[in-house]
Structure 1
Amino acid sequence: MPPKARAPLPPGDVERGEKLFKGRAAQCHTATKGGANGVGPNLFGIVHRPSGKVEGFAYSKANAESGVVWTPEVLDVYLENPKKFMPGTKMSFAGIKKPQERADVIAYLETLK
């Protein structure tokens, strides 16, 4: 389910993205190489990874069978409204409405490799 065409993301700020991640995602996700899964999967290396492929995490059927690859463009659409993008996901996060904040988080996620 590729995202619909939309305006490109503004340039992201890695430091702001890391702060946003720690404030909004770190309660459920780790982001370190070899880190344990939490309520959500470890997000280290998420950019360009197929959805539903973190070892040892019990994904929803919707996520595991989506065929989605987490490119920055796909992450942008997903992070705006996860449940709209992927009905049936277990992710309870409401989303990040501001494009700049999504760009910042994605810039941070791109450093995790």
Structure 2
Amino acid sequence: MTPRVAVQTAAWATTLVLLSTTSHAAGGDKPADLQRGAAIYERCVACHAFEYNRTGPRHCGLFGRRAGTVPGFQYSAAMRQSNIVWNEQTLDVFLKSPMTAVPGTSMGYAGIADAGERKALIGYLKHEGESARCRK
């Protein structure tokens, strides 16, 4: 390999590494952010899953969905009547304090006080919601 080809190869390899680590998902989520969001989501799995309803409703299809509308899930009247459409902003408000955001919700969770944790979790929810497992 000539020195010129070696330099070009190294430049391409560096570019590929940089691209793969700086724009992992739609919206520019970095792998570290997604890993943090996945770790935070572990708190949710006692009641939620992506593909199916548990004690809480499934998370596939969450973004753009009107709250209280997953078929087959028994929501509180408060959630059904909330008129919330889930997006980054509405999730941030809800996850900060579910019982304040929707008084009467049956989601008996105190919430996530740390804004950075909420942001990481929301990014993870969005990323996974766009993944193959949710596009089935």
Q: TM-score, normalised by structure 1?
A: 0.83
Structure 2, gaps ≥5 residues long: 1-28, 131-136
Distance 2:123 2:52 in 1: 22
Match of 2:46 in 1: 27
Name the CA distance, whole Å, in 1 between partners of 2:52 and 2:63. Answer: 18
What does residue 101 of structure 2 align with? Answer: 85
The one-letter code matched in structure 1 to 2:39 is K
Q: Does the residue aligned with 1:74 lie in a helix, a strand or coil?
A: helix
RCO (CA 8 Å, sep 6+): is it higher in 1 or 2? 1
The match for 1:6 is none
Quick one: distance in 2 between partners of 1:20 and 1:76? 14
Q: Distance in 2 between matches of 1:37 and 1:91?
A: 14
1:14 aligns with 2:34: yes
Q: Percent identity?
A: 38
Question: Residue type matched to 2:34 in 1?
Answer: V
Runs of 4+ in 1 over 4 A off after TM superposition: none
1:108 alignment partner, one of 124, 127, 133: 124
d(CA) in 2 for partners of 1:43 and 1:26? 11
**What TM-score do the two structures reach when normalised by structure 2?**
0.69
- 1:36 is displaced (CA, Å) by 2.3
Equivalenced residues, count: 99
Q: 2:39, 2:65 → 1: CA distance? A: 23
Query: What displacement does 1:45 show?
Result: 1.8
Structure with the largest fraction of helix: 2
For the aligned residue pairs, the C-alpha RMSD in angstroms reads: 1.3
What is the distance in 1 between the residues matched to 2:70 and 2:34?
23
- Tell me which structure has the larger Cα radius of gyration: 2
Report if the CA contact (8 A) 1:29-1:38 is conserved.
yes
